[in-house]
Structure 1
Amino acid sequence: MPHARLGPIAVHFPERLETNAFLQEQFPGWDISLIADKTGIEQRYIAAEGETASDLAVAACEKLFAEQDIDPQSIDFLLYCTQTPDYPLPTTGCLIQDRLGLPTHCGALDFNLGCSGFVYGLALAEGLIHSGVARRVLLVTSETYSKYIDPTDRSLRTIFGDAGAATLIDAAEQRSIWGFQFGTDGSGADTLMVADGGARAAEDALKPRHRKRWPSRLYMDGPSLINFTVESIPRLVEDILAGNGLTRDSIDLFLMHQATRKMLEQLQLRMQVDDQRLPIELADGGNTVSSTIPILIQRLRARNRISADSTNMLVGFGVGWSWAGCLWRDVFSDTDHQAG
């Protein structure tokens, strides 16, 4: 039976660049240098008014098709991960299918999973391909969290950026993605949330875990998220290793969701790995939610940091609480990397 191969990736950022220097100018009372030291973020891209996550998704897909000479008619299935859809319904993936000119026999599925979404998407693609349902899957992630953030919100505006990423998943004989493990703890739902806009009445809606300090629609309890991450993710890593007869030294790169520098440094400390093996790459784009891992892979590929014979681990975690991890060997050739 065929397996899924994680192929070329294309990334699209909005045109508007918001630097820390700009924020300092707008809000002289903010200690931007202290914030940047904790987050590791120096700038982020922000979607324009009227620009949606699907616009970023379509741009990333069109870039992928053009760079890799991919025929849109060759796509069997579209998997689209976002928490900022254009509408409650119809499914945004259907809109993207039409805009990209994908065939009408192509499946299209939205899933709302945030920071663990890319790894979940890989598992879905592997299942579709291994079962013979599809041979070429387009996995797309895009977010515009900025739409949920009030301009005066110091805690969130300095962290989240908007972006889209398109990843081609092809059928291949050689196993490239395996060892999936997942985790869910819905008791943490009240630590990162947007409680309005759905069918639940306001008086019955989920309430923030602690006092809401900012007027943003998006609420985040950073300390609780860090505690959840540093407890759950090292256990996930060990479970994946044990389930596949590996040790921590067997892993060349731990490619984690790029949340903040502080969170990733705590994981480095807890797991006793340095930034050469658990890289931090969010200074110039911020936390782009479901797109951080494909952005990270694309950048490391461009610098020839990922070799075909290396064994790597992909780990996503966050909103829900939801987390997921898998093992990955990059059987996509170095020549193809440079073409992408």
Structure 2
Amino acid sequence: MKAASIQCIASYFPATELTNEMLIEQMGGDWNPQDIYDKTGILSRRIAGENECSSDLGIKAANKLFETGGISHQEIDFLIFCTQSPDYFLPATACVMQEKLGLRTSCGALDVNQGCSGYIYGLALAKGLIESGIAGKILLITAETYTKFINPRDRSTRTIFGDGAAATLIVSVDGDEEKIGPFVLGTDGRGAENLIVPAGGMRMPKTVETLVERADEGGNVRSLANLYMNGPEIFNFTLKTVPKTAAELLVKSGKSLDDVDYFIFHQANKFMLERLRSKIKIPESKFWLDLEYGNTVSSTIPVALEKAKKQGTIRAGDEVMLVGFGVGYSWGATLVKMW
């Protein structure tokens, strides 16, 4: 029997750093760096350059993986690229990356337009491709440049999001033990308008009118072509959905909370994560909270996995619960056996 297993992860972040102090200097206002950190858990975030796209970040993460992961470009037989900030409407950015990464032309490649739950969805797709015999070595790349959507005068989103990428190698291994899974996935499109870039697609093309900037009741300035987030609604959705999702995964896997060695959730912000941990009753010693690079959307979970493994926080054989949630609304959870 063939099973899908994670073999290696490598991450990459742009060079430009935006600290809380720099943010306040640029935007002014009656706030201070400690206030931002206390609420978000973020001291700084990385910002992609003007001509630096998601594919550029993803390619650099993938090349780091090839340098350290014991696999060559020519061995990859499927590329999954997860992003909501693609290089183009068409072609798929994954096709562009195939050529730039030097992957063989018999390699399948596709884009997944998914955000904060995207890594979980990517793992589900990779597992299906491997265990159905379609592919044997899959490169799952998550990369975002959300900061390009953010208005410089919108502190509701600018304090939170950062740019970054992660590359994960998922391979076929022999054995009956499930290394990735089971999965719990969910969608509720009624929440679509609460985390959205309204203008720029076919539903609302960019026009002179959509680029007009307006201030909201909190003094945050944005246009319809900028990222909008309804923080309170996102928070309520998360507190309602994530505990149920974790409980469903435990039932589906036949495990208890105590059976799970460690928990890595999408690193949205400190306040939200602390509330989730408390509500689910996860011990602090088994729960990851680290927003060193800000909220990097679909990359927060693989970045955390890579860092936790390097630090020795999680070890080979550990059972780790991964939970992603957010834009869509979309959510997903799975268990992975550490490699």
* Band of TM-score, shorter chain: over 0.9
Instruction: Give the AA of the match of 2:274.
Output: E
The answer as to whether partners of 1:182 and 1:324 remain within 8 angstroms in 2 is yes
Separation (CA, whole Å) in 1 of partners of 2:221 and 2:332 = 30
Q: Does 1:176 align with 2:184?
A: no
AA matched with 2:184: Q
The correspondence for 2:239, drawn from 219, 230, 239, is: 230
- How far, CA to CA, are the matches of 1:327 and 1:64 in structure 2? 22
Structure 1, unpaired ranges of 5+? 333-340
Alpha-carbon distance in 2 for matches of 1:5, 1:211:
48
Structure 1 letter corresponding to 2:160: I
Give 3-state SS (helix, strand or coil) of 2:71's partner.
coil
1:58 to partner: Cα distance: 0.6
Equivalent AA in structure 2 for residue 249 of structure 1: D
Asked if residue 264 in structure 1 is aligned to residue 273 in structure 2, the reply is yes
Alignment of 1:17 onto 2:17: yes
SS class of match (2:60) = helix
Post-superposition offset of 1:211: 6.9
- Residues 1:172 and 1:69: Cα distance change in structure 2 (over 3 Å): closer
Distance 1:275 1:120 in 2: 26
Deviation of 1:36 after TM superposition, in Å, equals 1.7
The 3-state SS of whatever aligns with 1:114 is coil
Query: Contact conserved, 2:198 with 2:204, CA < 8 A, in 1?
Result: no
In the superposition, relative to structure 1, how do residues 147 and 244 fare at CA in structure 2: closer, same or farther (>3 Å)?
Answer: same
The letter of the residue matching 1:116 is S
Report the alpha carbon displacement of residue 245 of structure 1 after superposing the two structures with TM.
Answer: 1.4
- Partner residue in 2 for 1:325: 333
* Distance in 1, Cα, partners of 2:132 & 2:189: 30
- Note the C-alpha offset of 1:66: 1.2
Unaligned runs of 5+ in 2: 211-215
- Cα distance, 1:172 vs. partner? 0.8
Post-superposition offset of 1:307: 2.0
Quick one: distance in 2 between partners of 1:190 and 1:43?
A: 27
Partners of 2:281 and 2:20 in 1: CA distance: 31
Corresponding residue SS for 2:278? helix
Are residues 146 and 30 of structure 1, via their aligned partners in 2, closer, same or farther at CA, if it must alter by over 3 Å? Answer: farther
Task: Please state whether the residue corresponding to 2:186 is helix, strand or coil.
Answer: strand
Deviation at 1:214, TM superposition (A): 2.5
Specify which of 229, 241, 259 is matched with residue 250 of structure 1: 259
1:40-189 residue pairs with structure 2 within 5 A? Answer: 40-174=41-175, 175-189=178-192
Listed one character per residue, the Cα deviations across residues 21-62 of structure 1 (whole Å, up to 9, x for unaligned) are 211222332413212211000000000111100100011111
1:336 aligned partner: none
Pair 1:214-2:221 in alignment: yes
1:81–1:112: 8 Å Cα contact kept in structure 2?
A: yes
Cα offsets for 1:69-127 (capped at 9, x unmatched): 42101000000000000010010000000000000000001011100000100000000
Is 1:287 equivalent to 2:287 in the alignment? Answer: no
User: In the alignment, what sits opposite 2:317?
Assistant: 309
Asked whether the 8 Å contact 2:183–2:249 carries over to 1, the reply is yes
CA contact (8 A) 1:30 1:154 kept: no
2:315 partner amino acid: S
Separation (CA, whole Å) in 2 of partners of 1:177 and 1:323: 17
Q: Distance in 2 between matches of 1:110 and 1:63?
A: 21
Report percent identity of matched pairs: 47
C-alpha RMSD of matched pairs (Å): 1.6
**Could you tell me how far 1:275 is from its partner in structure 2?**
2.8
Q: Tell me the residue number matched to 1:190.
A: 193
Q: CA deviation at 1:305?
A: 1.2
Alpha-carbon separation, structure 2, partners of 1:22 and 1:201 = 34
Question: Contact 1:149–1:218 at 8 Å: present in 2 too?
Answer: yes
Q: Out of 226, 230, 240, which is 2:249 matched to?
A: 240
Distance (whole Å) between structure 2 residues aligned to residue 273 and residue 128 of structure 1: 32
User: C-alpha separation between the residues in 2 aligned to 1:43 and 1:294?
Assistant: 19
**Structure 1 range deviating more: 162-171 or 304-313:** 304-313
The letter for the 2-side match of 1:159 is I
Contact 2:20 2:36 in 1 (8 A): no
Per the TM alignment, residue 173 of structure 1 is displaced from its structure 2 partner at its CA by 1.8
Question: Match of 2:235, SS?
Answer: helix
Q: Distance in 1 between matches of 2:63 and 2:57?
A: 10
Q: List structure 1 segments (4+ residues) > 3 angstroms apart after TM superposition.
A: 210-213
Once the two structures are superposed, what CA deviation does each residue of 1:295-336 show, in whole Å capped at 9, x if it has no partner?
Answer: 000110011111223221111000000000011111x2xxxx
Deviations 1:118-145 (A, max 9, x none): 0100000000000000000000000000
Q: Deviations over 1:179-199 (max 9, x none)?
A: 101010000001100111111
2: CA distance, partners of 1:270 / 1:241? 15
SS of aligned partner of 1:258 = coil
CA contact (8 A) 1:234 1:271 kept: yes
